Amino acid sequence: MLDAVIFDFDGIIVDSEPLHYKAFQEVLVPLGLGYSWQQYLDEYLGFDDRDAFRESFRAGGRHLSGEELHRLMAEKAEAFIRIVSAGVAPYSGVVELIRSISGTLPLALCSGALRSDIDPVLEQLSLTGAFDVIVTANEVAASKPDPESYLMALKRLQERFPGAVKAASTLAVEDTPAGIASATGAGLKVLGVTNSYPEERLTGAVKVVDSLAGVDLESLRLLI
């Protein structure tokens, strides 16, 4: 039986990675720490903002204080909101799938993005209130592939739906190796989607699909 579903955000609901990349570069290029889109895909995809800034400073041989990190994250968040305000498009099928699950099964969002990045997009897609639980980078000490965020999402679902949610019967929907490692590390099963990586990179998922278009609740139940 499928007890609950937990969605990743970036790369699953919207293709926001190019928007994050642009926001990062607005902050980093003036500091002489910019990098290419390919470097972002190869080295930064899956990091939350905190670890992405830490890695960019480490790669540049620069020290990053806690105070400066906080300031840079705030600047990047402002840049991202400004960029998103121009509009975003969801991946095919995902909004319909989320709406079909919402109110039927316990449903969570588990993301390495900041809550301030997520809320405007959910509002644009009319998904505000669709999720019973939302866990973001603001709330965890370690980003994916660490399982902390998925463990927190699972715990909150279990608290909200006592006795109804078991880890082994919960399905995560992920697009990155780091996300799959995080979810499986929390004891969850994973549906991989090749929005960001080819199928051969999404090892650990119980099934990999090219798109969520045509995926429905019954097909998710069959994966457990």
Q: Could you give the CA distance from residue 137 to residue 146 in angstroms, rounded to a whole number?
A: 12
Q: Which residues of the chain have pLDDT under 50?
A: none
pLDDT of residue 46: 73
Q: Could you give the CA distance from residue 74 to residue 69 in angstroms, rounded to a whole number?
A: 9
Burial of 223 (0-12, 13-18, 19+ CB in 10 A): middle
CB 109 within 8 A of CB 6: yes
One-letter amino acid for residue 188 of the chain: L
pLDDT, tens digit (0-9, with 9 covering 90-100), for 53-111: 999 999 999 999 999 999 999 999 999 989 988 888 899 999 999 999 999 999 999 99
- Considering the entire predicted model, what is its pTM? 0.83
Query: Domains plus CATH for the chain?
Result: 4-15+89-221 (3.40.50.1000), 17-84 (1.10.150.240)
CB 180 within 8 A of CB 190: yes
Work out the number of other CB atoms within 10 angstroms of the CB of residue 104: 10
